[in-house]
Amino acid sequence: MPKTVETPKPEAGQFLYDPEEKVFEDIKAKPGEKAYVFIHTVPYEGSVALVNLLTATRLVRKGFDVHIVLYGPGVLLASGTRGYPAVGQEAFPGHLAINNQIKTLLKEGAHIYACRFAMGALYGFREDDLIEGVKPFNPLDVLDAALTAWREGAFQLNTWTV
């Protein structure tokens, strides 16, 4: 059956949605409020890791004291040796989006931690391979970071994928 409805495609610059309307209050952090973002996901296997880093960036910009805990495959997000054909070079636009977002977060005051167990036991990844400013931590600190966040009444975002 032939197509019976013809609708012109929108042109570049035309709005299909209302970009101004917000449904929820634009919440800003009160002095001293914290947020913890726990990431246990494989970089570049999906959008979860980058979306969490972008969300963490929004939290920083809303005034939260942000702590990002990378564990399991999440430690690979903090690889300071990523690049192709050389370290720090993008093979294609966006190739180093995760590294660039981590550097932005560090520059804007976030605290980022990477689990030593995951680095060494799972990936043979050295502490010296981390992006400068990322702090390695003991694997027992994963639970204690979550308990610290709970005790502080901090906002928590947890992503666990494999």
Q: Is residue 90 part of a domain?
A: yes
Q: Is residue 107 part of a domain?
A: yes
The label of the residue with tokens 């308990």 reads 147
Residue by residue, what is the 3-state secondary structure of the chain?
A: CCCCCCCCCCCCCCCCCCCCCCCCCCCCCCCCCEEEEEEECCCCCCCHHHHHHHHHHHHHHCCCEEEEEECHHHHHHHECCCCCCCCCCCCCCCCCHHHHHHHHHHHCCCEEEEEHHHHHHHCCCCHHHECCCCEEECCCHHHHHHHHHHHHCCEEEEEECC
Domain count, the chain: 1
Task: Provide the domain limits for residue 150.
Answer: 34-160
Rounded average pLDDT over 123-134: 95
Rounded distance between C-alpha atoms, residue 72 and residue 32, angstroms: 29
Question: For the segment 49-107, what is each residue's pLDDT rounded down to a tens digit?
Answer: 999 999 999 999 999 999 999 999 999 999 999 999 999 999 999 999 999 999 999 99
Mean pLDDT over each residue of the chain, to the nearest integer: 95
Q: What CATH number did the domain enclosing 43 receive?
A: 3.40.1260.10
Predicted local confidence at residue 3, as pLDDT: 85
Q: Is residue 27 part of a domain?
A: no
